[in-house]
């Protein structure tokens, strides 16, 4: 849908996803990398597929002049840098818009271009801390945690793509580009859902809850969320409400069919059971036979049976489980792309448009050229 | 309000969405000037109004929910009974007015209501429709209902959170829904650009599951290439040491990391351990990984005597990656978020004055804005049906009589 939109992608890890998303939507994205930059990591390859690679040394006058030449005819320039540095001056919107007033300059930085922390340095860990996300993950009395696979890059890159396209909409009316100043801290804050609203509306501060769910029962009971199963873990919660009741009834039926001991589940009437009034003793009695049953099923069995019975709950997938999930295969999510010496299986375009998933394109090409390191075009 | 027209001024959005995944798309567009109409009914109000706290005065009430408000500022709120033929006919009129329709029902439901993409585009060829749900519109598990919090587990993210060898860990709320909403906004805005050039509309199918996987694209490719299965590793990172969170004075924590030998030297000097810099045991990344317990103990001894904010200031001045672990309360006083006006306080008729979250990016020429507090249920029926759709007073009254707005 973005055919003909030219994007210059001068980002580091913090911004890679932005150009990938725009490329998935059809933009022609040129990834600029310095001559020695490493492009063989899985992260680089996964998030720079669908882009064309050009090697430019932006420390040198010749490289800078070439980038300015490319910027003169581009629609969007994506860049990551630390505000206040020489690099920041080079990517300054004022300087670039003198070359091309229609250019949209998207600056993706940890804290944004303005404010007292604009010059602070931050990796994924510090951005997750600054956004509040770490304060919500981990055991209640334990260390605040980040997700082991960096997430703040995703949040920043995705918001940068939204920003670039919002500015493109404005340009269609004004004819002028502008600066899109993305704060990774603010972008990652979106991950918190409505947790900040508690501070403001009822004066409480949500914090991390670990592997249990608390705060649902007025008697203080906590409910198990993650359960060991035969080959890993499943995510299942004894909910109330219509969907919860159906789930609980179906689980008991599944256990009965398998001949599993029902324990306290045999007597309970889920139509009348209210988790908000449950004591810890009651919850423990219900959870004991469930725990024993789950320890005998596999993740895939749980996934299929929960779907068949319209139960709430999912297995805790590893990347291997995801790679072999039939739902993703049926939707053509995986796309095989030829690299120089192998086939790479990538996450395909993030959306299906008019019934088809836009194919990833081997564009002459980052993927084909990439294994020949340090090639300068 | 900004003086210049906003980026998306003049764009009409109709939202048959509830909870997070649909309404958050509309919020992002509304904050840049789109006219977004959030459709509910009195029989089936948005589940975020009553099913999730916080509530004004801690009493659940249809218009006092802070959770609903958080995702629905700057919108118009209307009611339409989509089981009533008159309600459906008005919904069709509304879709014809709109440029973008957003829905996050289970696959097939919107079509059964007579509001599917194929039905709507017969008299609106430029229509852009975003359908977003758990698994996408197709595939063997397309009809799976589900909560975003649990889908985050299926998508691998919970399994990659937690201590090494410990249990998987929950992320707060429907984490993955917000990945899907952000990617949904990207697709909708790309479709708008296409329509400007070609006049063609588009039907966009977002699977919230697949959207979430884009945030694990690297580890997934790594698995396909090498068979390596990524695992949770607490706060460790293979390329940095130290890399973690440390307790500070009071209840606070600080996150800090060192990505080079030089940065570790700077840390050592800043926390009064200059001997670490020239100590052979800590000279390289590999050395520091082996000696992690000793280094962590040394850092903790220093951080425990300082407030997190003060410690972060010292370390940043020394050139070390560091930031306090902000709590939810801290987000409202963080000097950076305050300086960038991240929170916008608006008056809500029931909740009173409270804070709404601003956009994650600032536009230099057409800035975003929180134009209004979230609507009460059906608050904008008059404005939307009389002014925007242009119903005459008798027609409007007849529709009300027929139960279209129930």
Residues 307-336 of A with CB under 8 A from B: 307, 310, 312-323, 326-328, 330-331, 333-334
Q: What is the 3-state secondary structure (H, E, C) of B304-359?
A: CCCCHHHHHHHHHHCCCEEEECCCCCHHHCCHHHHHCCCEEEEEECCCEEEEEECC
Q: Which residues of A touch B187 (CB under 8 A)?
A: 1, 25, 350-351, 353
What pLDDT is attached to residue B3? 54
Kindly identify which residue of chain A lies nearest to residue B319, measuring between CA atoms.
A121
Size of interface A-B (CB pairs under 8 A): 487
d(CA B179, CA A159): 10
Active site residues of B: 177
What pLDDT is attached to residue A239? 86
Inter-chain residue contact B210 with A121, CB threshold 8 Å:
no
Inter-chain residue contact A314 with B146, CB threshold 8 Å:
yes
> Does the beta carbon of A371 lie under 8 angstroms from any beta carbon of chain B?
no
Q: Which residues of A touch B167 (CB under 8 A)?
A: 210-211, 226, 233
Distance from CA of A272 to the nearest CA of B (A): 19
Q: Which domains, ranges and CATH numbers included, belong to chain A? A: 6-190+331-369 (3.40.50.10540), 212-321 (3.30.1540.10)
Kindly identify which residue of chain A lies nearest to residue B196, measuring between CA atoms.
A172
Inter-chain residue contact B194 with A135, CB threshold 8 Å:
no
Inter-chain residue contact B156 with A180, CB threshold 8 Å:
no
CATH 3.30.1540.10 assigned to B243-327: yes
Which residues neighbour B84 within 8 Å (Cβ) at sequence distance 6 or greater?
A: B402, B403, B404, B406
Query: pLDDT tens digits, residue range A27-49?
Result: 999 999 999 999 999 999 999 99
Inter-chain residue contact A350 with B316, CB threshold 8 Å:
no
Structure tokens at B273: 């351990």
Inter-chain residue contact B66 with A202, CB threshold 8 Å:
yes
Query: pLDDT tens digits, residue range A132-162?
Result: 999 999 998 899 999 999 999 999 999 999 9
Instruction: Report the alpha-carbon angle B334-B340-B343, nearest 5.
Output: 70
What pLDDT is attached to residue B198? 96
Query: pLDDT tens digits, residue range A316-366?
Result: 999 999 999 999 999 999 999 988 788 999 999 999 999 999 999 866 444
- 3-state secondary structure at position B133: strand
Which residues neighbour B363 within 8 Å (Cβ) at sequence distance 6 or greater?
A: A163, A166, A167, A170, A178, A179, A180, A181, B7, B32
Q: Which of B70, B151, B259 sits opposite A194 (nearest CB)?
A: B70
Write down the ipTM of this complex.
Answer: 0.98
Chain-wide mean pLDDT for chain B?
A: 95
Q: Which residues of B touch A169 (CB under 8 A)?
A: 7-8, 11, 32, 189, 192-193
Query: pLDDT tens digits, residue range B294-343?
Result: 999 999 999 999 999 999 999 999 999 999 999 999 999 999 999 999 99
Inter-chain residue contact B186 with A355, CB threshold 8 Å:
no
> Does the beta carbon of A179 lie under 8 angstroms from any beta carbon of chain B?
yes
Inter-chain residue contact A183 with B360, CB threshold 8 Å:
yes
Would you kindly state where each structural domain of chain B is located, as residue ranges? 12-215+340-401, 243-327
Is residue A269's pLDDT more than 60? yes
What pLDDT is attached to residue A363? 64
Domain B12-215+340-401, CATH number (from 3.40.50.10540, 1.10.287.3510, 3.40.50.300, 3.40.50.2300): 3.40.50.10540
Is residue A367's pLDDT more than 70? no
Residue A191's closest CA among A235, A237, A236, A147? Answer: A147
Distance from CA of B155 to the nearest CA of A (A): 6
> Does the beta carbon of A82 lie under 8 angstroms from any beta carbon of chain B?
no
Ranges under pLDDT 50 in chain B: 1-2
Distance from CA of B398 to the nearest CA of A (A): 35
How much is the pTM?
Answer: 0.96
Q: Which of A2-6, A305-309, B39-43, B52-56 has the lowest mean pLDDT?
A: B52-56
Distance from CA of B335 to the nearest CA of A (A): 7
For residue A11, CA distances in Å to A376, B30, B77, B229, B347 come to 18, 28, 40, 27, 40
Residue written as token pair 């022609």: A28
């Amino acid at each position: 849908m973005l055919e003909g939109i030219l994007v210059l992608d001068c980002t580091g890890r913090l911004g890679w996803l932005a150009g990938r998303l725009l490329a998935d939507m059809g933009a022609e994205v040129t990834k600029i990398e310095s001559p020695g930059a490493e492009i063989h990591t899985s992260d680089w390859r996964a998030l720079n597929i669908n882009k064309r690679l050009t090697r430019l040394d932006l420390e040198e006058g010749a490289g800078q002049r070439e980038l300015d030449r490319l910027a003169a005819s581009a629609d969007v320039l994506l860049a990551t840098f630390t505000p206040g540095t020489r690099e920041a001056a080079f990517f300054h919107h004022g300087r670039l818009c003198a070359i091309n007033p229609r250019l949209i300059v998207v600056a993706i930085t940890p804290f944004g271009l303005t404010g007292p922390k604009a010059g602070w340095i931050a990796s994924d860990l510090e951005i997750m801390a600054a956004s509040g996300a770490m304060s919500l993950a981990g055991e209640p009395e334990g260390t605040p945690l980040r997700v082991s696979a960096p997430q703040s890059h995703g949040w920043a890159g995705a918001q940068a793509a939204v920003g670039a396209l919002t500015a493109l909409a404005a340009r269609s009316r004004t004819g002028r580009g502008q600066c899109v100043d993305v704060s990774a801290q603010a972008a990652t804050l979106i991950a918190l859902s409505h947790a900040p609203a508690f501070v403001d509306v009822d004066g409480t501060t949500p914090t991390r809850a670990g592997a249990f769910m608390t705060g649902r029962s007025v008697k203080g009971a906590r409910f198990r969320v993650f359960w060991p199963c035969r080959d890993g873990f499943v995510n299942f919660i004894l909910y109330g409400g219509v969907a919860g009741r159906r789930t609980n009834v179906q689980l008991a039926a599944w256990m009965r069919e398998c001949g599993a001991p029902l324990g306290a589940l045999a007597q309970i009437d889920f139509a009348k059971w209210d988790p908000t009034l449950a004591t810890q003793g009651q919850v423990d009695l219900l959870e004991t036979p469930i725990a024993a049953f789950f320890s005998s099923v596999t993740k895939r069995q749980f996934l299929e049976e929960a779907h068949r019975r319209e139960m709430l709950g999912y297995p805790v997938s590893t990347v291997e489980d995801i790679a072999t999930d039939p739902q993703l295969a049926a939707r053509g999510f995986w796309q095989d792309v030829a690299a120089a010496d192998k086939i790479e299986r990538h996450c395909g375009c993030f959306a299906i448009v008019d019934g088809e998933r836009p194919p990833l394109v081997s564009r002459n090409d980052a993927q084909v050229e990439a294994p020949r390191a340090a090639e300068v075009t | 309000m900004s003086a210049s027209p906003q980026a998306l001024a003049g764009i009409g959005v109709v939202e048959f969405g509830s909870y997070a995944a649909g309404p958050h798309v509309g919020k992002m567009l509304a904050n840049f000037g789109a006219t977004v109409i959030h459709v509910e009914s009195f029989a089936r109000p948005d589940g975020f109004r009553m099913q999730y706290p916080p509530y004004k005065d801690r009493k659940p009430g249809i218009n006092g929910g802070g959770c609903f408000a958080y995702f629905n500022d700057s919108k118009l709120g209307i009611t339409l009974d989509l089981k009533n033929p008159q309600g459906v006919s008005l919904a069709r009129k509304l879709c014809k007015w709109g440029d973008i329709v957003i829905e996050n029902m289970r696959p097939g439901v919107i079509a059964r209501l007579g509001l599917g993409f194929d039905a709507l585009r017969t008299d609106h060829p430029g229509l852009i429709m975003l359908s977003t749900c758990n698994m996408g519109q197709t595939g063997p598990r397309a009809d799976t209902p589900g909560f975003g919090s649990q889908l985050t587990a299926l998508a691998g993210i919970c399994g990659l959170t937690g201590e090494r060898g410990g249990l998987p860990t929950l992320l707060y709320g429907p984490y993955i829904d917000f990945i899907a909403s952000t990617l949904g906004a990207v697709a909708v805005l790309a479709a708008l650009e296409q329509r400007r050039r070609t006049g063609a509309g588009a039907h966009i199918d977002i699977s919230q599951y697949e959207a979430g996987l884009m945030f694990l694209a690297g580890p997934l490719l790594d698995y396909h290439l090498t068979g390596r299965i990524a695992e949770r590793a607490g706060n460790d990172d293979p390329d940095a040491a130290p890399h973690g969170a440390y307790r500070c004075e009071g209840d606070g924590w600080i996150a800090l990391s060192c990505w080079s030998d030089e940065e570790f030297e700077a840390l050592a000097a800043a926390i009064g351990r200059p001997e670490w810099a020239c100590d052979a045991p800590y000279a390289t990344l590999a050395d520091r990984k082996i000696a992690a317990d000793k280094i962590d103990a040394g850092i903790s001894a220093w951080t425990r005597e300082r407030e997190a904010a003060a410690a972060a200031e010292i370390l940043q001045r020394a050139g070390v990656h560091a930031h306090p672990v902000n709590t939810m309360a801290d987000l409202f006083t963080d000097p950076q978020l305050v300086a960038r006006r991240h929170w916008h306080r608006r008056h809500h008729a029931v909740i009173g004055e409270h804070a709404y979250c601003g956009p994650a990016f600032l536009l230099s020429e057409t800035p975003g804005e929180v134009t209004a507090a979230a609507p009460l249920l059906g608050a904008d029926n008059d404005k939307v049906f009389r002014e925007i759709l242009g119903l005459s007073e008798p027609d409007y009254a007849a529709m009300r009589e027929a139960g279209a707005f129930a």
